[in-house]
Amino acid sequence: MSNKSNHRARTYFGMQFVTATVSTTLVLLLLGMVVLFVLAAQNLSDYMRESVRFSLLLNDEVQEADAAKLQNQLEALPYVKQVDYISKEEALQEQTEALGTDPTEFIDFNPFYASMEVQLVSAYANTDSIAQVEQTFTALPQVQRVDYQRDLIETINHNISRISLVLLALAAVLLLISIALINNTIRLTIYAKRFLIHTQKLVGASRAFIRRPFMARGFWQGVIAGLLAIALLCGGLYWALTYEPQLMQVVDVKTLLLACGAVMGFGIIITVVCAYFSVNKYLSMNENEMYYL
């Protein structure tokens, strides 16, 4: 009994299964890298957009208590991510460090204004939204001037749009290539069993009964290939982070989990679906047609 079980296991997980799984692993690894790049590019675009700040210069009449109320008011806005208050004294200290000299040594007063440094949510950091945000900030009675880098925002949004289109097109092409490669791998595996499928059909086995072991084999092939691809993907990312720790700003845990989930999901779905249609192809053939494939 034990020998029969071992024989079935070797037949089920034989060299053909190993070869198909390795091929599927390499394809899923490539697909996972593309998904990771696309998600990382989205995080990078959010990071770049949120790096642009509005500088709200306050009137001299604004006191510390009024500035604190204004900061709370700004933080409550849905398009504001973070607000940093810079007092006149802090502004003087920053400029003194930057210039290497204290301006108050030449004049008897502090020439700098208190300000609010406002960081927007990335979804609002586009040209149309920023124009409306600027109008909102300018209308505040405590604010005398609003400064931000208009040209930089336009350049960032333009480049991000172009890069996003290129990455999405690349992802779509590689997804189609991945499906085609995995499908061919599974079809070759089932091709070797086409006469077994025909024999089962002759003895009266139902289509569902014949398909079941092939779809189960495809499922486990997708699971194992997905796990191997995830291990390789995480190993490669860990190696990259040892050389460039700043990558954690664009490749966080959520991004990695989404990429791993996509790899596993694609691996299982593609292998099972391809096995289903490949078996159906041979179920619809007669014996003579199988000889001429």
- Per-residue pLDDT at 1 exceeds 70: no
* pLDDT, tens digit (0-9, with 9 covering 90-100), for 71-116: 888 888 888 888 888 887 887 787 777 767 776 667 777 777 788 8
pLDDT in tens, 231-273: 999 998 888 888 877 777 778 888 889 999 999 998 899 888 8
Per-residue pLDDT band at 223 (split at 50, 70, 90): very high
Find tokens 């208009």 and name the residue. 150
* pLDDT range class, residue 230, cuts 50, 70, 90: very high
- The answer to whether 41 and 163 have CB atoms below 8 angstroms apart is yes
204: left (phi over 0), alpha (psi -120 to 50) or beta: left
State the pLDDT at residue 14.
Answer: 62
Does the pLDDT value for residue 9 go beyond 70? no
| C-alpha–C-alpha distance, residues 148 and 103, integer Å | 24
Percent of the chain with pLDDT over 90: 6
Q: How far apart are CA 101 and CA 92, in angstroms?
A: 10
What average pLDDT does range 51-76 have in this prediction? 84
Q: Where are the beta strands (DSSP E) in the chain?
A: 53-58, 80-86, 115-120, 143-147
Q: Which of 33, 35, 32, 34 has the alpha carbon at shortest distance from 267?
A: 32
* Predicted pLDDT of residue 122: 79
**pLDDT value at position 265?**
92
Nearest to 161 by CA among 39, 42, 255: 42
Predicted confidence (pLDDT) per residue in 139-171, tens digit: 888 888 888 777 777 777 777 778 778 878 887
Amino acid 261: pLDDT: 92
- In order of 112, 172, 218, 252, the CA distances from 40 in angstroms are 39, 17, 30, 8
53 in Cβ contact with 115 (< 8 Å): no
Question: Is the pLDDT confidence value at 11 over 80?
Answer: no
Return d(Cα 35, Cα 124) in angstroms, integer: 25
More confident residue, 189 or 275: 275
**Residue 228, pLDDT score:** 94
Looking at residue 291, its pLDDT comes to: 61
Domains in the chain (CATH in brackets) are: 2-47+156-291 (no CATH), 53-148 (3.30.70.3040)
Which range among 58-67, 153-162, 178-187, 276-285 shows the weakest confidence by mean pLDDT? 153-162
Average pLDDT value over all residues in the chain: 80
